[in-house]
Chains A and B, each alone.
Chain A
Amino acid sequence: MDLNSLTVASTLSAIRERQTTATALTEDFYRKIAAEDAEIHSFLALSKERAAAAAAKADALADKGDPLPPLAGVPLAIKDVMVTRGVRTTAGSKILENYIPPYDCTAVARLEAAGAVVLGKTNCDEFAMGSSTENSAYGPVRNPREKTRVPGGSSGGSAAAVAAGFAVAALGSDTGGSIRQPASFCGVVGLTPTYGRVSRYGLIAFASSLDHIGPLAHTVKDAALLLGIIAGRDPLDSTSADVPVPDYAAEIEKPVRGMKIGVPKEYFPDGMDSEVRKAVEDAIQLLAAKASCEIVPISLAHTAYAIPTYYIVATAEASANLARYDGVRYGHRSPASATLSEMYRRSRDEGFGAEVKRRIMLGTYALSAGYYDAYYLKAQMVRTLLTRDFEQAFAQVDAIITPTSPTPAFRLGEKVNDPLSMYLADIFTVTADLVGVPGISIPCGQSREGLPIGMQIMARHFDEAAIFRLGHAYEHARAA
């Protein structure tokens, strides 16, 4: 059984037709991880007992010939920013090195209720802050496609696990591009749903108005299937939207003829990487030629202000969300602190890495008296301007296609000493997070050196169906 080419559908049919059992398949995946992940380092923890129990459940149903739940026996990996009861969860940080959560993330619980087998927790940038997974306190992840290169971040472990065939699919989280960018670097599909489409309950918070949970998978169809399972109102997350979940699997087959695709000039600047430009432009042309979509040039005028806006809003929210790590109730406590204040300060300084501290400081500064208006309030106003750009665009078009990232995967160590250069890697992905629209990255080619290139498709709020239809049509047109 070629683990690299399994999809949700082929896994289900293999189990249903007893070509394999969920238990045997789970063991196959653990064997592959044991043999190959030492080099990649995509996993931080393996949840073998939990996986075995889920696989046994799926096998019991298959043995009786009962209908299987939609993800029965499908092995998945979960980014370590989502809590899993009884399974160590670190958020890629030393401050949570020994944290065993007493509850499950809703998205994970829903996948398991659908029969999925959670293999383990994947490596990520600390508290999801980063674009290369080099900020993990547990060591970086290598891009399975080219091991001297980064897998992207912050969901680098999840993207690498799918790309390397260590899981059929994975969950990641995205605040500024952390699902889509690593998906494009590793050559897999990665979806950031509309803000509020998926509950954030159990997602260790980075920036509460920007955080999203979403799937990474080999195909658009698998991303759609997973979204269908995890999406929907959750009373435990007051920001989860009360909007019905469409049957994405049915939507995906609907025709795309006549759909209007917006191509924003600001995402194809002069001097951009010529291979990225060509791969994405070719993909757009393919959709026009083979799927009869209409290409409409558009402008998203405030694009250049998205990164500064993001790095004010996200860091300000992060400074508030990370205030809870104080050594009192869980997480690292600095030994031998004489006073409460010392305990807070030393626990945090010892437990947090450099990037996290940098962002907390930036966010605290932006919110402090005297600077709040100039930075945080200003950024919130620019967020409105960015939203208006998209509203105007979606009055003319049904979807927007751009490159996911300005470059393919960069080298390990290349950007670690220049935080600003690292931040600019998010330039095409942050707008979706700020505005709340959904976006997917789909592999659309590779560089001369064999590095994957991804194209991003964005759509209106709650119109993931349009994204899936276009993405699926593109996959078909490319294969034809």
Chain B
Amino acid sequence: MKVSEKDVTYVADLANLELTPEERARMLRDLNSILEYVDRLSELDTADVPPMAQVSGSYDAAEKKGEATFEYAMRADELGPSLDRQVALANAPESDGKFFKVPKVIER
């Protein structure tokens, strides 16, 4: 078993998920089954292969224009229209009309 129950607890903490005991057991089984399949990636020799996080980097459109990569994605640092406060609060589970309300963040 690659993934242990401790791992499931640790990862669930990181992911902010409160799993029930049944969910934990199922997760242990599913994660192990999937990771066992995914492990075949280690068959490949990637010693000199650069990682690819984003395909757009391989588009040469920007180079053709003589610009730096993703130059077109930048804009001037200027203020523009934004969401009206009431609109932004409209989906709030709890609000005082000015802010989103949540349980106490800092214990005194």
Most buried by A among B17, B33, B70, B83: B17
Q: Is B44 close to A, CB under 8 A?
A: yes
Q: How far is the CA of A329 from the CA of B99 in the complex (A)?
A: 9
Q: A339-B104, A348-B17 are in contact. Are A385 and B91 (CB under 8 A)?
A: no
Bits for A401-413, please: 1 = Cβ < 8 Å to B, else 0: 0000000000000
Give the residues in chain B near A357, CB-CB below 8 Å: 17, 19, 23, 27
Number of A-B residue pairs with CB-CB distance less than 8 Å in the complex they form:
179
Give the residues in chain B near A338, CB-CB below 8 Å: 103
Q: Is B79 close to A, CB under 8 A?
A: no
Q: In the assembled complex, how far is the CB of residue A94 from the closest CB belonging to chain B, in whole angstroms?
A: 14
CB pair A308–B37 under 8 Å, yes or no, is yes
Give the residues in chain B near A381, CB-CB below 8 Å: 44, 46, 49-52
Q: Is B38 close to A, CB under 8 A?
A: yes
Q: A242-B72, A343-B103 are in contact. Are A362 and B49 (CB under 8 A)?
A: no
Q: How far is the CA of A300 from the CA of B82 in the complex (A)?
A: 47
Q: Contact size class for A? A: 35 or more
Closest to B28 in A: A361
Q: In the assembled complex, how far is the CB of residue B40 from the closest CB belonging to chain A, in whole angstroms?
A: 6
Q: In the assembled complex, how far is the CB of residue A194 from the closest CB belonging to chain B, in whole angstroms?
A: 9
CB pair A239–B54 under 8 Å, yes or no, is yes
Give the residues in chain B near A358, CB-CB below 8 Å: 27, 30-31
CB pair B16–A345 under 8 Å, yes or no, is yes
CB pair A368–B93 under 8 Å, yes or no, is no
Q: A357-B23, A361-B15, A364-B14 are in contact. Are A238 and B7 (CB under 8 A)?
A: no
Q: Which of B23, B41, B56 lies in contact with A382, CB distance below 8 A?
A: B41
Q: In the assembled complex, how far is the CB of residue B106 from the closest CB belonging to chain A, in whole angstroms?
A: 9
Q: Is B68 close to A, CB under 8 A?
A: no
Query: Which A residues fall within an 8 A CB radius of B?
Result: 98-100, 102-103, 195-196, 209, 233, 235, 238-239, 241-243, 302, 304-305, 307-309, 311-312, 319, 323, 326-333, 337-346, 348-349, 352, 354, 357-358, 360-362, 364-365, 368, 374-375, 377-385, 387, 419-420, 423, 434-436, 461-462
